[in-house]
Chains A and B, each alone.
Chain A
Amino acid sequence: MDLDNARYRQRKRRNATNSILCVSATVLGVGILAIILGTLVYKGFSGLSVEVFTQMTPPPGSAGGLLNPIVGSLIMTVIGVLIGAPLGMLAGTYMAEYGRYSKMTSVVRFINDILLSAPSIVMGLFVYTIMVAPMGHFSGFAGAIALAVLVIPIVVRTTEDMLLLVPGSLREASAALGMPRALMIRKVAYKAARAGMITGVLLAVARVSGETAPLLFTALNNQFWSTNLNAPLSSLPVVIFQFALSPYADWQRLAWVGALIITLAVLALSIAARWLGSSRTSQ
């Protein structure tokens, strides 16, 4: 009996230690998020002003803002998503509707999942070799294409997942009414899966708007005001990279402001996407 008690106590102790370890792991994870956000707000908030959104990036030693990188980022993100999202949606549509049980679909799904986590810097190299090297110069358009390559797998994945959630009975009902498949997909399946598909696009925007690596040698950077897609284009992440590693205090301060702006934008996008997604499932 004594022996049993000792063993019982030992098991209880082991259970308690493990529970404490799990709790501390969670505290650590959430704590790191809090520390990162805290540092960003602490370092970036003081520099946040109207000038940041209305003035160009300054030469070292003078005041300025982040207008041209913000605009450049917006341009490239919008174009990248406009190219990548429709392509991704069409591919996802094929996988969930026309080719749901085909071999082709499982191959595409497998490859797409790999592209989803492939290193973004390799995508930058890829676009460099197919666009920048033949054209002979860096360009905003190349940057947008690099972002589009990153958008496609995300949108393919969410579109397919969301269309697979649409009940088959809806499809059968519209087929029984004599609807051709293309019409059924556009009028019934897309409507039912709309919130989820928008969520996917928002997630893709959130992901690419903070991407730096694929822009380093496609869009490069531009110190001056430019909206020319055929010339190097400034972007917020690349400017943060350049300014943070510079020895000038005011550049570093602007880098923190830019980091705060990007993080807030990305977090807002992911929370919006999450909210859209959850309001869909609770219906």
Chain B
Amino acid sequence: MVDVTLHLPTRSNVAGAEREVVLGRLRRQDQVFRALTFGAAVSVLVILGAVFVSLIDGSIPAFRKFGLSFLITESWNPVTEKFGALAPVYGTLVTSALAMLIAVPIGLGIAIFLTELCPPILRRPIGIAIELLAGIPSIIYGIWGLFFFAPVLQQTLQPFLITVFGNVPGLSTLFAGPPYGIGVLTAALILAIMVLPFVTAISRDVFETVPSVLKESAYGLGCTRVEVVRRVVIPYTRVGVIGGAMLGLGRALGETMAVTFVIGNAHRISGSILAPGTTISATIANEFTEAVGDIYTSSLIALGLILFFITFVVLACARLMLMRLEYKAGK
């Protein structure tokens, strides 16, 4: 039992001394717990630092051998041990950019539907359905893309694109070649499906931060719904929407399994988006366990470093933009 009467805790007082002991124990416990939690928080920073350090350390042999020309060389030849990052970097950027071009308008459309048009009873089920799309593991998108989506594209969309644009000057190189089914376009479409839930969820959340007073006064002036969205909702949330799109872009850049299945893994830069290509993550996933020799492994780790750097920058920008919106909403 601890004596809780209000004695001054003097040494001569037995109850006071006992209380001193208990309080001391509690204080020590508190200090230990605080140190533990602080250590855990620091470990998050340590992980990020360790990722950077280990990747830099692993890619030193490649950069020492090829120098900065590693970044602008297209050849990737394990036999002669000549490696360059240009083809995978190009593939990563092109597939992600195409994916965003498709996913952002659709995601915004769904977000507008959910916040402005949807009958309240449907709002939750549709929101959940879209979020479930985000929960499906990427390998499922991969196997679905390879066995279901790619054959469908090969028979429908790709021949259509070739017949329509095949003879248009300027666009013909973009859609040159036979319809393989797999390739850059298929990978971009799968990526678009994968980032759609992220874009939708964040756009919906930022659209909901618009004060209803603003929207109501626009409606009161006689604006139509689309005018309210264009002139009030989107200008108010622009930073957040861009931040959300960049968050999706960060996902698309690093996505591995879904792309590995459908991109075709060809180390070359092709002007046609129907042709097979490769991305950084697909190259690593396909070749890492088979890589023989230090330079090969090191080149793959260097690719990983480039990928991590690109996504780090994109995600950091996205977070800063979203933080700016939160700050505005908080004011």
- Chain A residues proximal to chain B, CB less than 8 Å: 11-12, 14-15, 18-19, 21-26, 28-30, 32-33, 35-36, 39-40, 43, 87-91, 93-95, 97-99, 104-105, 107-108, 110-115, 117-123, 125-126, 128-130, 149, 152-153, 156, 180-183, 185-186, 206-207, 209-213, 216-217, 220, 237, 240-241, 244-245, 252, 255-256, 259, 262-263, 266-267, 270-271, 274
Q: In the complex the two chains form, is B112's CB within 8 Å of A22's CB? A: yes
Within 8 A of A (CB), among B267-291: 281, 284-285, 288-289
Q: Which residues of B lie under 8 Å from residue A262 when comparing CB positions? A: 137, 139-140
Considering the chains assembled together, what is the distance between the CA atoms of A110 and B130 in angstroms?
A: 26
Considering the chains assembled together, what is the distance between the CA atoms of A94 and B38 in angstroms?
A: 6
Q: Which residues of B lie under 8 Å from residue A30 when comparing CB positions? A: 126, 129-130
Q: In the complex the two chains form, is A119's CB within 8 Å of B311's CB? A: yes
Q: In the complex the two chains form, is A180's CB within 8 Å of B30's CB? A: yes
Considering the chains assembled together, what is the distance between the CA atoms of A117 and B195 in angstroms?
A: 12
Q: Which residues of A lie under 8 Å from residue B10 when comparing CB positions? A: none
Q: In the complex the two chains form, is B285's CB within 8 Å of A237's CB? A: no
Can you list the 9 inter-chain pairs with the closest CB atoms, starting with the nearest? A210-B137, A119-B254, A25-B109, A90-B40, A94-B37, A182-B33, A91-B40, A15-B224, A213-B256
Nearest residue in A to B284 (C-beta to C-beta)?
A: A121
Minimum Cβ distance to chain B for residue A238 (Å): 9
Question: Cβ of B65 < 8 Å from any Cβ of A?
Answer: no
Candidate in B141, B146, B301, B304 with the most chain A CB atoms within 10 angstroms: B304
Q: Which residues of B lie under 8 Å from residue A110 when comparing CB positions? A: 316, 319
Q: In the complex the two chains form, is B113's CB within 8 Å of A22's CB? A: yes
Q: In the complex the two chains form, is B251's CB within 8 Å of A211's CB? A: no
Q: Which residues of A lie under 8 Å from residue B263 when comparing CB positions? A: none
Q: Which residues of B lie under 8 Å from residue A209 when comparing CB positions? A: 137
Considering the chains assembled together, what is the distance between the CA atoms of A153 and B48 in angstroms?
A: 11
Which of B54-62, B168-176, B212-220, B232-240 binds A? Answer: B54-62
Q: In the complex the two chains form, is B224's CB within 8 Å of A14's CB? A: yes
Query: Which one, A123, A129, A180, A220, contacts B289 given CB within 8 A?
Result: A220
Minimum Cβ distance to chain A for residue B112 (Å): 5
Question: Cβ of B242 < 8 Å from any Cβ of A?
Answer: no
Q: In the complex the two chains form, is A122's CB within 8 Å of B132's CB? A: no
Q: Which residues of B lie under 8 Å from residue A220 when comparing CB positions? A: 289
Considering the chains assembled together, what is the distance between the CA atoms of A210 and B144 in angstroms?
A: 15
Knowing A119-B307, A256-B143 touch, does A99 contact B44 (C-beta < 8 A)?
no
Q: In the complex the two chains form, is B315's CB within 8 Å of A125's CB? A: no
Q: In the complex the two chains form, is B38's CB within 8 Å of A99's CB? A: yes
Q: In the complex the two chains form, is A125's CB within 8 Å of B114's CB? A: no
Within 8 A of A (CB), among B306-322: 307-308, 311-312, 315-316, 319
Q: In the complex the two chains form, is A87's CB within 8 Å of B304's CB? A: no
Q: Which residues of B lie under 8 Å from residue A149 when comparing CB positions? A: 47
Q: In the complex the two chains form, is A29's CB within 8 Å of B43's CB? A: no
Candidate in B36, B50, B114, B116 with the most chain A CB atoms within 10 angstroms: B36
Knowing A11-B227, A119-B254 touch, does A181 contact B30 (C-beta < 8 A)?
yes
Q: Which residues of B lie under 8 Å from residue A244 when comparing CB positions? A: 142-143, 146-147, 261
Known pairs A33-B129, A40-B140, A91-B43. 13 more at Cβ < 8 A? A22-B117, A39-B144, A113-B315, A114-B316, A117-B315, A120-B254, A125-B284, A125-B288, A125-B304, A183-B29, A210-B136, A211-B137, A237-B257
